[in-house]
Structure 1
């Protein structure tokens, strides 16, 4: 029976830990597109070392063996201590490893106590009962145990960091060692209820009630009637190490209006090219050379062009020179709203547009009449939810001559 209980507890422990680790490692992204906005919901697990804790407690315990029911309950009570460390993998599941023990008292019908005789029972030689021919026995032991814990408060009512009382039943396995002669070592199963009462975010008061089941020869007496066990109740304190708590679901909303407009403009140009394939070949040649929009990105709080930006503008200018001089282009400057203030962003977006215009006209020799400049001040994230891509100036076709339509 003990082996079956132990194997069942061990299997449940491994399966639950595997499930908890998978739950922690799992993250998902869900995107919902509404008009020109994208809502991204993201849930992530915490780091491995988060939500770890240590517990120290003391209380009372008693054992039940072959003859203990013949003793008064108060005579069987002895002090108990416990210390354990553990971790919550998700709000409803955790594990812990601990040690419980000290001294147990019971009864035996074997009163041998001399060193030559000792080795059979744990009698201390004190006569207890004439009626049942019993001696007192004392056992010094410790119980090394691993528990799988289920926080039913979080499972049923949702995680709440400010909840005063959390109730966590648990099941696990034990290795119980009797270290005074005659020594024994037993594997067993255990279950119990761990109650924690919040004092602060870091400190909790706890009440732990535990039952441990071991085999019939735990006390070195085989009665052949049933297994033996230990029941303990302790009160203590728990410290929850940082980082503690659980990450909330992150909801990000960003506007795709600008990127949608540019995408539509490029689609219109492609459609126009397809339409003009069936008309005069000279016109088609011109249309095929309509230049795509050009995007120049600036560093944070800067409106001066970098060398990389000037190279891109130069390549755009060479393309413009090969096209119809009647095409008019718009130059629009932007700044990201997350940086600076409204006044600074208004100035930055204007200066960025002017810097691009001056480069096209003064450095690359294009007529200023071909360009119309504008600026939008500080804007939200324009591309890929990245504020750096909003520190930009965009050049694109504004109008074409009637002869090209």
Structure 2
């Protein structure tokens, strides 16, 4: 239910951005700022930490809940106000299982926890609980909104930007140490702060969250229908071409001469 609501929010967000573009609000703000389609493409690479949030995983020691996270994005700003990207984020998550969980071996069937193949790959605690290790990749399509360019005049030389994002994707879990391979719909939310270092490079700091089915790793824990992870990361952004307005760049070159 929650994932369906978030998906609707994503679609409404996209329709509102499109309506503003069609209605001329963005076009007026972007006067002279649009470029040919091949321009304003970028790639972004980040690394950081993340933790899984689910009912049973809270039994893990807090430090054991943190794992490494990496992401790679390729995107384009269609105007100074909005853009889109394809992003892959992943590596590992630490989960936790109790004797009250249900192992979902195959779609449409469930088995008691003691038939979970993870138990053959990990250390079982005296109370029957055990930690399991999840390897995943979350591939998503995201829409971005530049708050700075939305509320101020774009001149191509802004040093800082604050960018919220929303997207939908596929949360793929790899078969690893008894955890079965699986795919789940993911809804992704984030906010990124970017600092312009040069016309082609940014430094980015991001906070992100993803929501997906409770049984994404082959196990149902608790009564909620969804799990989620949150992450914090930092990285660099590279633009394939000078992203400044052509007119602004020419003026700067003339001034330097």
Identify whether the pair has TM-score above 0.5, normalized to the shorter chain: yes
Q: Do the aligned partners of 2:33 and 2:79 also contact (CA within 8 Å) in 1?
A: no
Paired residue secondary structure (2:214): coil
CA distance change for structure 1 residues 119 and 10 in 2, over 3 Å: closer, same or farther? farther
**What 5-or-longer segments of structure 2 have no aligned partner?**
102-112, 249-257
Structure number with bigger Rg: 1
Partner of 2:52: 63
Is 2:135 the partner of 1:136? no
**What 5-or-longer segments of structure 1 have no aligned partner?**
28-41, 112-116, 250-405
Partner of 1:46: 35
Listed as ranges, the matches of 1:186-197 within 5 Å are 186-197=184-195
Paired residue total: 229
Is 2:72 the partner of 1:74? no
- Report the alpha carbon displacement of residue 49 of structure 1 after superposing the two structures with TM: 1.9
Task: Name whichever structure is richer in helix by fraction.
Answer: 1
Give the whole-Å Cα distance in 1 for the aligned partners of 2:181 and 2:18.
33
Paired residue secondary structure (1:125): coil
2:123 is aligned, of 118, 126, 146, to 126
Paired residue secondary structure (1:245): coil
- Greater relative contact order (Cα 8 A, min sep 6): structure 1 or 2? 2
Q: Do the aligned partners of 2:70 and 2:89 also contact (CA within 8 Å) in 1?
A: yes
Paired residue secondary structure (1:47): coil
CA-to-aligned-CA distance 1:73-92 (integer Å, 9 cap, x gap): 21011111100011111212
- Report the alpha carbon displacement of residue 156 of structure 1 after superposing the two structures with TM: 2.1
The root-mean-square deviation of aligned C-alpha atoms, in Å, is: 3.0
Partner of 2:239: 240
Is 2:132 the partner of 1:145? no
Is 2:174 the partner of 1:175? no
- Report the alpha carbon displacement of residue 43 of structure 1 after superposing the two structures with TM: 4.4
Partner of 1:5: 6
CA distance change for structure 1 residues 216 and 78 in 2, over 3 Å: closer, same or farther? same
Q: Structure 1 length as normaliser, TM-score? A: 0.51
Task: Name whichever structure is richer in strand by fraction.
Answer: 2
- Report the alpha carbon displacement of residue 134 of structure 1 after superposing the two structures with TM: 2.1
Q: Do the aligned partners of 1:84 and 1:99 also contact (CA within 8 Å) in 2?
A: yes
Give the whole-Å Cα distance in 2 for the aligned partners of 1:47 and 1:118.
59
Structure 1: 4+ residue segments shifted above 3 A: 17-27, 117-124, 246-249
Q: Do the aligned partners of 2:156 and 2:243 also contact (CA within 8 Å) in 1?
A: no
Q: Structure 2 length as normaliser, TM-score? A: 0.78
Give the whole-Å Cα distance in 1 for the aligned partners of 2:36 and 2:25.
8
Partner of 1:364: none
